Amino acid sequence: MSGTEQHYLVLCPANPAWAPDDLAGLVGSLCQCGLIGANRQPGLFNTGPAYLELIAYLGCSPQIALGEAESATTIRLNGPFDKPEFRSSAKAKPRCRLCWQTLALDKFPVRSDETVTCVHCKISSRAVELDWRRKAAFGRFFIEISNVFESEAVPGEALLDALGSATGQAWDYFYWRKD
pLDDT in tens, 97-128: 899 999 888 777 677 888 889 999 999 999 89
Confidence at residue 60, expressed as pLDDT on a 0 to 100 scale: 74
Q: State the average pLDDT over residues 61-69.
A: 80
Confidence at residue 53, expressed as pLDDT on a 0 to 100 scale: 96
CA dist 30 and 26 (Å) reads 6
Confidence at residue 111, expressed as pLDDT on a 0 to 100 scale: 79
At a CB cut-off of 8 Å and minimum separation 6, what does 102 contact?
93, 94, 95
**What's the burial of 54, exposed, middle or buried (CB within 10 Å: 0-12/13-18/19+)?**
buried
pLDDT tens sequence across 34-49: 999 999 999 999 999 9
Where residue 2 falls among pLDDT bands split at 50, 70, 90? very low
Average pLDDT, the chain: 90
- 78 torsion bin: left (phi>0), alpha (psi -120 to 50), beta (else): beta
Q: Is the pTM of this model over 0.75?
A: yes
Where residue 8 falls among pLDDT bands split at 50, 70, 90? very high
CA dist 43 and 104 (Å) reads 35
- Given 3-state DSSP classes, what are the helix, strand and coil percentages for the chain, each rounded to the nearest 5? 15, 35, 50
Contact predicate 95/116, CB 8 Å:
no
Q: Read off φ and ψ for residue 3, nearest 5 degrees.
A: 55, -135
Contact predicate 55/157, CB 8 Å:
no
CA dist 142 and 130 (Å) reads 19
- Would you say how long the chain is, in residues? 179
Where residue 5 falls among pLDDT bands split at 50, 70, 90? low
CB-based contacts of 65-70 (< 8 A; 24+ apart in sequence): 65/147, 68/38
Confidence at residue 174, expressed as pLDDT on a 0 to 100 scale: 96
Residue 57 in this model has a pLDDT that exceeds 80: yes
